[in-house]
Structures are given as C-alpha cells and as structure tokens.
Amino acid sequence: MKKVTFKKSNGSSDIVRACYELEAEDLYPAFKQNNFATTQEITARSFASLQLRAKNAVKALINSKNRNILMLCAVNRIDQCKVAAAIVSEVSDKSVLIAKAPSRRELFGDASCKSVLLSYDVVIIPCVHLNDHPKWIGLLEDFLDKNSHAKLILTGDGGDCAELMVMWPQLEHALQADLVLEFPSVGGMELMAGLIKHYQKKDPEIKDFDEDAVRLLCMYACRESGDRRWLGLPEEKIRSLIEDASFFAKGETVAKRHVLKSIAAMDFRINFLAESELRDHRDRQILISTQGAVVGQINGLSVIETAGTSYEFGEPVRITATARAGGEGDVIDIERKAELAGQIHAKAMMIINGYLTKEFGSDQPLPMSASLVFEQSYSEVDGDSASLTGLCAVISCLAKVPIRQDLAVTGAVDQFGDVQPVGGVNEKIEGFFKVCRLHGFTGTQGVVIPFSCVNQLVLRPSVVNAVKKGVFHIYTVAHVNDAVKLLTTMDWDADDGRDTIRQRIVDHLYEVANGKEEIPWWKFWQKNED
C-alpha cells in the first residue's frame, strides 16, 4: 500500500484522512503455509459441527423439561432443516424427523395415525409451513401443552421467523438460536480442509484437495462473506464447487486449476446478463468514457443482482451534473424526480446538499442550483454508494474543473465529507476493469474506493495481475477532498494562495450572486444599440 497524499482534517471528524494506492498483495487475503499437503491428513468437520450457537440451543431443548420449542433462524443460503437434523444427531442419539410440509393429520394424528410429534423425539418443521396454515398454531400450542415431552424445532429466515412470532406470541418464550454462515478466517485452511474431508466420507467421488486448492476455496469463501477476515460458507454452494472441482480433477488430487475451472464453470452458467451488458459496451450502446477529462461527468460503480440466482456483477454508470443560476440553491436529483430512486438514494442526495451547504452556504443561501442524473439508467436506483460520486460531479460542475474519465468511483459520504464504506466493492472494481480492458488499457485507469473497504477485497486473478503490471490502479480515500484531488489533480484548499477547487467554487458563486456572469448575447446587442 503506497501513500499518495496525506492531509490533516480541518473538520470535526475523527476519521484519519489519507489516500493510498493499493498494491497487488493488498487485493486478496493471505493464508499462510499450513501443516498439511492434502486434505487426506485432516480430520473431518461437518458444517453442523461449526454451529456452536445452534448446538448449545439443541442441547438445551433436549435436556429441558419445560421447554419444547426451538426456533432456528438462518439465511436461505443453507438447507436449514437438514443442518438442524444433523445438529440433533451430533449432540444426541434422539430420533429426528424433517417434516417440511406435514398434513394436519400427520401433525396432530387421529384414530388411525399417530402424530409425528409423538412418533419421533424431535420434529423439524419450516416456519413458512405454519405461516401458510395459521389456524394450526392454536391447535399446535394446545397439543404441545398436553404433550410436554414432544420436541419441535422451527426453521426459517428472519422474515419467516418474524411473521410466525407475530401470529404466535408465545414463541417469545421459546428457545432461539442462529444458524451462521460466517466463521473467522484464522484457522480457515484447516476448517475448509475438514469440511472437504467430511464430504469425502459421504461421497467417494470427491477427491483429496492439495493446499493451494484449499487456499483458493478459502479466498472464495472470504469473498462470499464480504470480508476477508471471515469465511462465508453457504454450504450447498461450497459443496457444489468442491464436487465440480473433483470432477475436473479426473482421478488426480484436486489442484488450484481445478477449483478455478469449477468457479469459471459456475459463473458461465449464470452470467449471461453480465456478458450482454459487456457486449453493449463493446457496441457503444452504453456510453462510458475510460479516457480524457470532462467537466461535470464521472464514472460511478453499481452492482446488478440477477433475479433467481445469487450472481451479482459490477456495472459502471455515467453520472452527470449541470448547474444554473437561481433556484433554491440545492441539488436536484433527477432520479428521484422521475420516481426512479429509492429512499436510501434520496437520503444520500440530501446529504450532498448538506455538505455543500456546510461548505458554501452556511451564512447565506447558495445562488446556484445543480442537477444530477444517472445517464442511461432505466430502472430504480437505490443505496448510498453513489453519494461520493455524485458529490464529486457537482463539485466539478461548480468549479468548472474537468474530472478524469479513466477513473471510476464508489463510496458513501456524510455531511462532513468523510467517506464511508459500501458493499459490492469486488464486483464494482471488476465491472470497470472489464470495460477498460474492452476499450483498451492506457496504464492510468483504475477505481477509487473507501479506505474502510480494504478488508472486502478478494479480487479475481486478472485484476490482481493487471495491478501488479501497473496497467490498472486501485486507490483508497477517506475524505471527499482526497477523491477530488485524484479526479482533478487540484487541491481542495491551500493556505498559500494557490489555485484550488474551493477557491474556484467560491469565485464562481460570487460572480453569480453579483451578476458578473458572462453577459447574454441579447444584452450585448442591446448595449451597442444604446
């Protein structure tokens, strides 16, 4: 990490002001050498064994004499019922049944059929099934009161659990626990290797993995979590990668190249939309400049979610700003005016207004208004990750200073100008990287991200190699002033009377307020006739 500039903050913020250019080794997590050559040397560890919170709760449920309901809450990226059953089997010898959609007869029994709640020691039911049959809730509560030895585990995501608790308030007194997908990356190599070994025991087609292959899977897991200090383990997805890599290995020990191939194959199956967007860039149907400098125009970075899959990809977006004399002295958000913006985006635009008012309008209203728009955007925009981008575009417009088009920007900003973290940084960087590669590298292209997002970085080898060769650059900033410096090559402010961004804006506002803008053409002719 190389320092580019450093300035002391003049504001009230405690955030350290700094600007750095990241080096290749800053772009991915480092997993040190370990004490195994292949997973053959590692003890197996199941995904269920990692669920310490849930294991504690299941033990409490089984041993309790007066509590017979446990609610396990998790995201939808794991098979909640299957994991819950595996936990029960790990901590006890109790019989367990997964009843994903039991009928009323199966659940409560009748003269010819015994209730599953009485036939098994522990029964697991998804919350959504009871949400779909709210009339059963009262019956189930009475049944469990009369059969206190019956044990019930309810599973679901946060929304399903919350909905059921509204209809069944007594669940507030039930045992509750989380199923988690994120685990510390410290010791992550052994954890991932143990998970692979566990799958090997269940499926003989899964081969041994060498150390580099395990390391790459750990990097992938860090990217899944959004923080390289944590492994994100959506079990079904990780298992699919392990199975695919074993298939590509064809009897060999699974190496790094096989894992890369499995990741590429998975992406290929669901990345049609991303490839279509890239084709539009190639055909100039989407206008993004990766060279030159333009006043009031900047490259923003967005993340596109593909419906029906977990696949996300980065997409650069051209953001433009214009200014005019008069108005209410605010920034008009055209996306919001066109009802194409969500509430968080609207808040972010108001924060831009707040920063400009603090800097230039604390004593009197601003004599100018600005308009901000996401060009070629035809769907709803939300989130605050473009607030730094929008603010820089407005500053460029007010100062009449061009912005570098070979850089793209993402980041949220507060009213003091401090840059705050955003999500999807890896996808955003890779999205602009692909467009730059398509248009041709100049050696100066790159992205500007919040300094606080460094721990999110787990970038693809193509980006890492480009940074290593010096053809692509990744900069971090902690304050809007430093972003402006990178984008315009001009300082925000100075004490020695040098030409600065701030001074240009002040001069421009003064000229407008005092009517010293360029005389309109019709006034010129009127003056000559007089």
Which residues are marked as active site?
Answer: 385, 428
Contact 132, 161 (CB under 8 A): no
Which residue, 316, 319, 320, 311, is CA-closest to 434?
Answer: 316
Q: Which amino acid is at 181?
A: L
Q: Which amino acid is at 407?
A: L
Per-residue CA distances from 129 to 135, 224, 507 (Å):
11, 29, 66
Which residue, 102, 106, 96, is CA-closest to 62?
Answer: 96
Contact 347, 404 (CB under 8 A): no
Which residue, 300, 226, 217, is CA-closest to 454?
Answer: 226
Instruction: Output the DSSP codes for 56-88.
Output: HHHHHHHH-SS--EEEEE--TTS-HHHHHHHHH
The label of the residue with tokens 């190496």 reads 255
Q: Which residues contact 322 (CB under 8 A, 6 or more apart)?
A: 296, 370, 371, 397
d(CA 212, CA 293): 43
Which residue, 339, 329, 327, is CA-closest to 377?
Answer: 339
Backbone φ and ψ for 335, nearest 5 degrees, come out as -60, -45
Q: Which residues contact 202 (CB under 8 A, 6 or more apart)?
A: none
E strands present in 439-528: 446-450, 473-477
Which residue, 203, 222, 210, is CA-closest to 28?
Answer: 222
d(CA 40, CA 119): 40
